[in-house]
């Protein structure tokens, strides 16, 4: 671009600036040169904004340096130092307010899942596997938090949070619903009615507790968790008897089976859990006996927008790396970013990400989350992220395919968000189910 044209463009930019506006104009328009990230952050309440900034810093300092190695060699990766650092910074206790947890108090009721969602996006921007490793325990804790009795809180939640927050030595907790013969089935009402469940609990009146038998599969953090919230039917009954039990990995008869070799989010394990006559004392029943189905649906409703936010992070990570690549790389006489069709593609990606973030935040900002909002945020966030990762790989050509840039990792990571917490098909059915009982007015 010649100099005089450049000067004229700069002059036009100045003419466009807020200072030429009157008082009302300045109230209405914001022409500051600020990234979308900053603009979005400013819309958040003070507490959530603080967590977003903190998470960005943490993910660059702690997650970025580990990402490539943890993805390529997950079996040699020791997660404890990263988990301890995250706990020291308060990220592992975000579901409760002080003195138990670290969530910001004022926006707590309105924005509980928003605090976790903004952290999830930032962590996932650097590495999906490490983000999942750090965030999955929220899912394990959620049944206790949402349906646990006072006794459950004192016996299980309190020590878990204090160990993490006060001592800085966090444990993991997993969430186990999936069985070898029941995946989507247990996440959707019709499927639930037909599900072939094997994990069952039998009451033992002598020892005053339940004997659990069966197995769960694909359990995130299953191999490293000290505690797991496990859903099991009562013997000889169906899914309507589903009950949530808190199992501890030191219980006799509890073991970890196969650890899956995965395509994406490789730094977090997905493992099989085996229960062979595990005795679970009555005090480890979470909530009421036979209340597991409703409990599980509510847990998923609160966590699905967070999965959407994690997906958004993968898409954003791919976008940012692609942008950097286009700025540096020459195609013929010009850098890639100077070609208008490249600019159009990058703009399209930014618009998609912004649309997904708007929906996810809107879903998290509900006073009480509800099924269709949660399912929509998960589906749209994950589908958008996968599309954006694809666009990034396309713009980068052969470089997009190399480990070094991390874009193929984001692509692999984002694919999983379309599958877990209910496949996107199942989430669409969840939305439909919710609206069947209303006027379906979109």
Ligand X SMILES: Cc1cc2nc3c(=O)[nH]c(=O)nc-3n(C[C@H](O)[C@H](O)[C@H](O)COP(=O)(O)OP(=O)(O)OC[C@H]3O[C@@H](n4cnc5c(N)ncnc54)[C@H](O)[C@@H]3O)c2cc1C
Is residue 153 classed exposed, middle or buried when 0-12, 13-18 and 19+ CB atoms within 10 A define those classes?
middle
d(CA 413, CA 427): 19
Taking CB atoms, the residue at the shortest distance from ligand X is 183
- Least Å from the CB of residue 381 to ligand X: 16
Dihedral of CA 279/284/290/294: which sign?
Answer: negative
* Contact string 371-410 vs ligand X (x = CB under 6 A): ----------------------------------------
Q: Which residue has the tokens 């997904």?
A: 356
Using an 8 Å Cβ cutoff, are 178 and 219 in contact?
Answer: yes
| Given 416, 417, 418, 434, the residue binding ligand X (CB under 6 A) | 416
Q: Which stretch binds ligand X (CB under 6 A): 12-20, 103-111, 164-172, 413-421?
A: 413-421
Q: Which stretch binds ligand X (CB under 6 A): 12-20, 72-80, 122-130, 420-428?
A: 420-428
- Least Å from the CB of residue 174 to ligand X: 6
Tokens representing 192 are 């639930």
| Given 41, 213, 390, 423, the residue binding ligand X (CB under 6 A) | 423
Tokens representing 346 are 């990058």
Using an 8 Å Cβ cutoff, are 100 and 161 in contact?
Answer: yes
Dihedral of CA 54/58/61/67: which sign?
Answer: negative
Nearer to ligand X, 48 or 134 (CB): 134
- Cα 415-421-424 angle, rounded to 5 deg: 60
- Contacts by 52-61, CB closer than 8 A, 24 or more apart: 52/118, 52/119, 52/122, 54/89, 54/90, 55/91, 55/118, 55/119, 55/121, 55/122, 55/123, 56/122, 58/85, 58/86, 58/89, 58/91, 58/122, 58/123, 59/122, 59/123, 59/125, 59/126, 60/126
| Given 426, 430, 431, 434, the residue binding ligand X (CB under 6 A) | 426
- Least Å from the CB of residue 260 to ligand X: 7
- The verdict on 249 binding ligand X (CB under 6 A) reads no
| Given 96, 144, 147, 219, the residue binding ligand X (CB under 6 A) | 219
- The verdict on 353 binding ligand X (CB under 6 A) reads no
Which residues, at least 6 apart from 380, have a Cβ–Cβ distance to it below 8 Å? 308, 355, 356, 359, 360
| Given 102, 113, 152, 178, the residue binding ligand X (CB under 6 A) | 178
Using an 8 Å Cβ cutoff, are 228 and 136 in contact?
Answer: no
Q: Which stretch binds ligand X (CB under 6 A): 86-94, 187-195, 199-207, 400-408?
A: 187-195
- The verdict on 329 binding ligand X (CB under 6 A) reads no
d(CA 71, CA 129): 7
- The verdict on 218 binding ligand X (CB under 6 A) reads yes
- The verdict on 256 binding ligand X (CB under 6 A) reads no
Using an 8 Å Cβ cutoff, are 416 and 128 in contact?
Answer: yes
- The verdict on 183 binding ligand X (CB under 6 A) reads yes
- The verdict on 220 binding ligand X (CB under 6 A) reads yes
- Least Å from the CB of residue 321 to ligand X: 23
Nearer to ligand X, 47 or 313 (CB): 313
- The verdict on 191 binding ligand X (CB under 6 A) reads yes
- Least Å from the CB of residue 392 to ligand X: 22
Nearer to ligand X, 270 or 388 (CB): 270
How many residues at the interface with ligand X, by CB under 6 A? 24
Nearer to ligand X, 109 or 194 (CB): 194
Which residues, at least 6 apart from 251, have a Cβ–Cβ distance to it below 8 Å? 278, 279, 280
- The verdict on 267 binding ligand X (CB under 6 A) reads no
- The verdict on 175 binding ligand X (CB under 6 A) reads yes
d(CA 297, CA 175): 13
Q: Give the interface with ligand X as residue ranges (CB under 6 A).
A: 174-178, 183-184, 187-188, 191, 218-220, 262, 270, 416, 419-423, 425-426, 429
């Amino acid at each position: 671009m010649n100099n005089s044209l450049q000067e004229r463009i700069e002059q036009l930019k100045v003419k466009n600036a807020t200072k030429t506006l009157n008082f009302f104009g300045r109230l209405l328009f914001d022409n500051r040169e600020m990234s979308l990230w900053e603009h979005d952050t400013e819309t958040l309440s003070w507490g959530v904004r603080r967590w977003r900034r903190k998470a960005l810093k943490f993910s660059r300092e702690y997650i970025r340096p580990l990402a490539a190695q943890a993805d390529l060699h997950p079996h040699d990766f020791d997660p404890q130092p990263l988990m301890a650092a995250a706990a020291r910074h308060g990220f592992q206790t975000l579901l409760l307010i002080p003195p138990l947890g670290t969530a910001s108090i004022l926006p707590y009721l309105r924005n509980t899942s928003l605090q976790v969602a903004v952290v999830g996006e930032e962590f996932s921007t650097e590495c999906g596997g490490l983000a999942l490793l750090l965030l999955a325990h929220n899912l394990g804790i959620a049944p206790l938090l949402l349906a646990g009795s006072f006794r459950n809180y004192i016996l299980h939640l309190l020590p878990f949070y204090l160990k993490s927050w006060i001592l800085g030595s966090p444990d993991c907790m997993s969430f186990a619903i999936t069985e070898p013969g029941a995946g989507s089935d247990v996440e959707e009402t019709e499927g639930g009615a037909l599900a072939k469940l094997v994990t069952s609990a039998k009451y033992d009146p002598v020892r005053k507790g339940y004997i659990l038998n069966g197995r769960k599969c694909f359990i995130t953090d299953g191999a490293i968790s000290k505690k797991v919230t496990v859903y099991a039917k009562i013997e000889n009954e169906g899914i309507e008897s589903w009950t949530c039990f808190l199992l501890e990995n030191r219980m006799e008869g509890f073991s970890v089976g196969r650890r899956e070799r995965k395509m994406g989010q490789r730094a977090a394990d997905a493992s099989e859990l085996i229960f062979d006559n595990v005795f679970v004392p009555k005090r480890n029943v979470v909530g009421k006996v036979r209340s597991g189905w409703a409990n599980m649906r509510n847990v998923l409703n609160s966590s699905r927008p967070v999965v959407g936010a994690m997906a958004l992070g993968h898409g954003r990570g791919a976008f940012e790396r692609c942008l950097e690549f286009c700025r540096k790389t020459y195609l013929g006489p010009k850098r890639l970013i100077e070609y208008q069709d490249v600019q159009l593609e990058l703009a399209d990606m930014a618009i998609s990400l912004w649309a997904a973030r708007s929906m996810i935040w809107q879903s998290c900002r509900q006073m009480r989350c509800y099924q269709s909002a949660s399912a929509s945020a998960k589906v749209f966030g994950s589908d958008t992220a996968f599309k954006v990762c694809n666009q990034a790989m396309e713009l980068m050509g052969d470089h997009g395919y190399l480990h070094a840039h991390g874009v193929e990792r984001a692509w692999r990571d984002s694919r999983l968000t379309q599958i877990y917490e209910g496949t996107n098909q199942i989430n669409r059915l969840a939305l439909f189910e919710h609206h069947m009982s209303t006027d379906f007015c979109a």
